[in-house]
Amino acid sequence: MNKGDLVSAVADEANLTKAQAGAAVDAVLDAITATLKKGDEVRLVGFGTFAVTKRAAGTARNPRTGETIATKASITPKFKAGAALKASVNG
């Protein structure tokens, strides 16, 4: 499923136009992104938690050449699925 498919599914489920559903999906994604940028987390009970983690600088190996390269420290978004989502997916 891509974003267009998601917008269509939301429009059908919520009885909205595709334009309204698209605006709603964009608003949700923008709110999650803005919260993560601030370093906070987004908890959706039953669905999961979006958070950011700090990755330390280190070294990695180029698999093609075997050369060791330095990696920079970074902040990475992550998602942890909630119990209800896990149960739903597992049947």
Average pLDDT over residues 7-20: 97
The CATH class, in words, for 3-90 is: few secondary structures
Average pLDDT over residues 69-80: 95
pTM score of the predicted model: 0.81
Interval 15-54: pLDDT, tens: 999 999 999 999 999 999 999 999 999 999 999 999 999 9
- 60: β partners: 69
pLDDT of residue 91: 86
Q: Give the mean pLDDT of the chain.
A: 96
Domain spans in the chain, listed from the N-terminal domain onward: 3-90
Quick one: which of 1, 82, 8, 6 has its CA closest to 44? 82
Question: Rounded to the nearest 5 degrees, what angle is found at the Cα of 89, between the Cα atoms of 35 and 26?
Answer: 30
- Percentage of the chain with pLDDT > 70? 100
- 74: β partners: 55
Phi, psi of 61 (to 5 degrees): -120, 130
